Structure 1
Amino acid sequence: MKLVIGNKNYSSWSLRPWLLIAQNDLPFEEVRIPLDLADTKEKILQYSAAGKVPVLVDGDVTVWDSLAICEYVSEQHLEGRGWPADTAARAEARAISAEMHSGFPAIRGQMPMNCRATGRKVPMTPELEKDIARVDRLWSDCRARFSAGGPWLFGEFSIADCMFAPVTSRFATYGVSLSDLAREYQQQVLNSKAMREWVEQGRQETEVVEADEAGA
């Protein structure tokens, strides 16, 4: 497999499938294309007509979009283990992953992922407060109802954890206060080996995307 990603410091969409592959120790080649440069689009178009990262190339198969890549990897390389085995838990995991995929516009817009930054503060709008409260509730509810004592949202690591991993980084960057269960989950993600590797490599990058340097 070849996974085409953007900057590790900024690219939340790239992190999601990368984390699924890395956490499961699957062999793959990483192709990093820095974002927001004059030749960024041209380089990405060599892999996908969508012109966006991430892109997965697996033999003759090309998959774009983070969630679609995660689904493909789960089916083709993990025997479906990307999702919980229990029917109810699997349905919940898919639902919250889809909600993350298409929702939370205030978090996306006002709190861009920035692994290098710490202690940033942004205005706390009502829309942002609502998004944060919803994430906190989802994390807490899933841990309480489905984890069965395991450290991840559904006990074992799943695609749902990948979908929310960038949010754990965002909340760390901007100092978001969370409930006890949600904070424990955030630390579980941030302290995992694969996530620490991604963050450390992101911090070593030198490119700056001004649009993602939010807060002060």
Structure 2
Amino acid sequence: MLTLYIGNKNYSSWSLRPWLLLTHLGADFLEVPVQVRGLGPNDTHRPYADNGLVPALHDDAIHICESLAICEYVAELYPQAWPADRHARAVARSVASEMHAGFGALRNAMPMNVKARAKGGPLPAAVAADVERICQLWQDCQAHFSGNKGPYLFGDFSIADAMFAPVVWRFFCYNVALPEAAAAYRDLMLDHPGMQAWERAALAETIHVASSDASLAQWGGPREGNYLAVDAL
């Protein structure tokens, strides 16, 4: 049986990706939540994750770290996790890898915080460039590969969509203005049953990571009626 070790759902962007993929596929897996503090590798995780990080996937004696590698392993078990078409699959792998390795300015400025509802504000140049590139990727993938196959980046939901799921939360929670097509894809992803289940669990958490919560104030503070007030962090 598959066992997935994941961090706090409010903060752990890396954990969201394989969890969402496995959930979408209807895979039978055991979810093991562990505490993360946003401080990088932690020796307390090494008994189940050699690199000291989560997520980590166990399949009996096989242990896999890193979200993209975990998703690739899941695709060995569930080939529909990637597009069936060879060309589409190659591009999907390309954009998933770009998301895995890039967009550092966006990640640093807007750590994933599912509870946050920031007012938003002007984006620094490097963050704006990351947002523009992501929106262009989404538009290009949907224009060339989704067609009438389905509404996601390559038609049916795939690893590519799972890899961008944390960015979807960032755009929504930090109130990032998006072009119409990108906003529609964001909303599509937010409506995914797995994303909604993840949000419900995140809202029930009581652990706060100060370094992530502090970013809310940097983006104009909470929106009116926000249920995560700055003074409650």
Q: Which residue of 2 aligns with 1:131?
A: 130
Count residues in correspondence.
Answer: 213
SS of corresponding position for 1:107: helix
What does residue 58 of structure 1 align with? 59
CA deviations on 1:45-83 (whole Å, 9 max, x unpaired) are: 1102200000001111100000000000110x21x2111
Which aligned pairs between 1:9-158 and structure 2 lie closer than 5 A?
9-36=10-37, 41-75=42-76, 77-78=77-78, 80-121=79-120, 124-149=123-148, 150-158=150-158
The runs of 5 or more residues in structure 1 that have no matched partner are none
Deviation of the 1:26 alpha carbon: 0.5
Q: Could you state the TM-score of these two structures normalised by the residue count of structure 1?
A: 0.95
Separation in 1 of the partners of 2:71 and 2:38? 27
Unaligned ranges ≥5, structure 2: 218-233
The residue aligned with 1:201 is 201
Partner of 1:145, secondary structure, is helix
Structure 2-normalised TM-score?
Answer: 0.88
Mark the CA change 1:120 to 1:47 in structure 2 (over 3 Å): closer, same or farther: farther
Counterpart Cα distance in 1 of 2:60 and 2:128: 44
Aligned CA-pair RMSD: 1.6
Question: Residues 215, 146 of structure 1: CA spacing in aligned structure 2 closer, same or farther, 3 A cutoff?
Answer: same
Shift of 1:203: 1.2
Matches within 5 A, 1:3-14: 3-14=4-15
The one-letter code of the counterpart of 2:185 is Y
Task: Report runs of 4+ in structure 1 exceeding 6 Å deviation.
Answer: none
1:191 aligns with 2:191: yes
Report the 3-state secondary structure (helix = DSSP H, G, I; strand = E; otherwise coil) of the residue aligned with 2:80. coil
Amino acid at match of 1:187: D
User: How far apart in 2 are the matches of 1:33 and 1:43?
Assistant: 10
Question: What's the CA shift string for 1:123-159, capped at 9, x where partnerless?
Answer: 5110000000001111111111110131110000100
Match of 1:212 in 2: 212
